[in-house]
Amino acid sequence: MKIPGLIALALGAGLMAATPARAALNVIATTEDLASIAREVGGDKIKVESLSRGYQDPHFVEAKPSFVFKLNKADLLVAVGRELEIGWLPPLITQARNAKIQPGADGYLDASLNAKILEIPTGQITRAMGDVHPLGNPHFWLDPDNGKRIAKAIEKKLATMDAANAASYAQREEDFERRLNAADKGWQAQMAPYKGTKIVTYHRSWPNFADHFGLDVMGYVEPRPGIPPSPSHTLELIKAMKEQNVKIILVEPYFDLKTPNSIARETGAKVLMLPPSVGGVPEVTDYIKLFDHDVRQIVDAIKATGAK
């Protein structure tokens, strides 16, 4: 008798809560890169917010209850996918009490589905390889061509959810693509003299970036993905860098600079703290500025060090 009472109470409370009038679509992105692209496409027709910050390691975001509130009100959730957010997003979605954004529902968009994904493992993988992503490298947004693909996917999704503004989304997406193409021509021109330059990165965050701009990532500060630097690996890396005259070490803003700095001292290389995401440094306020900033930094560093 007490249990039906409880349920009746719950259902009664449920009926009383009326749905508010539909305003601008509420879009939550897991990272600031996706939020920036969504903003380009949606303009003032949508409200966009990112759960993580650009200077934060996107693998290790905390599943804070305040994020539950944000997801509760979301019409659309845009996730990076490829298991980047596996450590924190699933419990948030479960607790969000929002049928619209559950995996498989219309308001859940996996941004990776149409993107060019690198490093998809073939054959047997084990955790002896470190924290490998079985579905491929999730840092795919660092290729402007993938940025266009993400924009297209968001545009299609917004158009189906909000048909009245479909023309606006299509027009804004085209405009974004045009500006991105124009900017990319400039970036390619800046990078052209340095194609094939060998670099070292801390984590495997940059394969798509290197692929697009013709850089050659010859080693990593981490011995394996997600495993902190070890002395033996660091020594091997120093030796290889000296042999191949590698002068650039890219470090994401959320990693410790101690090991990269000591490698730099040994090899004469330059440590470049480079944001892999929008918001990683204050001046990178949108997706196009991210590449403006990163390309300029890399070109300056190559010029300064004479890297090959």
Partner 1 sequence: MRLRSLPRVLVMLSSVLIPISFVGTAAAQEPVPSPSPSPSPSPEVVAPPPATTEVPPGAEGAGGPSGPLPVYGGGAAASKVFNPDIAVIGDFLGAAGKNDSKFATPSLEMHEAELSLQAIVDPYARADFFLTFSPEEVGVEEGFITFTSLPANFLLKVGKMRASFGKVNQMHNHVMPWTDRPLVTQDLVGGEEGISDAGLSLSRLIINPVLFLEATAEVYRGESPELFSAPRRQDLTYVGRVRGFRDVSESTNLDFGGSFARGTAKEGAGLHTSLIGADVTLRWRPLRRAIYRRLLARTELVWSRRDRVTSEQAHAFGLYGSLEYQFARRWFAGVRLDHSERADDPSLVDKGGSALLTYWPSEFSQIRGQYRHTSYGEGIKANEFLFQFQFSIGAHGAHTF
Binding footprint of partner 1 on the chain (CB under 8 A): 2-3, 6-7, 10, 13-17, 53, 55-57, 60-66, 68-69, 72, 83, 86-91, 93-97, 99, 102-105, 127, 130-131, 226-228, 253-256
Nearest-approach distance from CB 304 to partner 1, in angstroms: 25
Spatial neighbors of 88 by CB under 8 A, at least 6 apart, are 60, 61, 62, 63
Alpha-carbon separation of residue 266 from 237, 239, 251 (angstroms) = 11, 9, 17
CA distance 297 to 278: 15
Q: How many CB atoms lie within 10 A of CB 66?
A: 8
Q: Nearer to partner 1 by C-beta: 269 or 281?
A: 281
Q: Nearer to partner 1 by C-beta: 90 or 214?
A: 90
- Within the chain, strands assigned E span 25-29, 46-50, 76-79, 108-110, 198-201, 216-220, 248-251, 270-273
Q: How many CB atoms lie within 10 A of CB 188?
A: 15
CA distance 29 to 77: 6
Spatial neighbors of 245 by CB under 8 A, at least 6 apart, are 198, 307, 308
Closest listed residue to residue 190, CA positions, set 37, 295, 91, 269: 295
Nearest-approach distance from CB 116 to partner 1, in angstroms: 23
- Dihedral sign computed on CA atoms, order 109, 114, 116, 119: positive
Q: Nearer to partner 1 by C-beta: 7 or 164?
A: 7
Closest listed residue to residue 291, CA positions, set 221, 201, 169, 208: 208
Closest listed residue to residue 139, CA positions, set 69, 243, 57, 35: 57
Q: Nearer to partner 1 by C-beta: 144 or 279?
A: 279
Q: Nearer to partner 1 by C-beta: 41 or 80?
A: 80
Q: Nearer to partner 1 by C-beta: 93 or 199?
A: 93
Nearest-approach distance from CB 17 to partner 1, in angstroms: 4
Nearest-approach distance from CB 129 to partner 1, in angstroms: 11
- Within 102-185, strands assigned E span 108-110
Please, what is the Cα angle at 48 between 46 and 49, to 5 degrees?
160
Six-digit token pair at 21? 């009038």
Nearest-approach distance from CB 84 to partner 1, in angstroms: 11
Nearest-approach distance from CB 43 to partner 1, in angstroms: 26
Nearest-approach distance from CB 14 to partner 1, in angstroms: 3
Q: Nearer to partner 1 by C-beta: 10 or 189?
A: 10
Q: Nearer to partner 1 by C-beta: 49 or 145?
A: 49
Nearest-approach distance from CB 28 to partner 1, in angstroms: 15
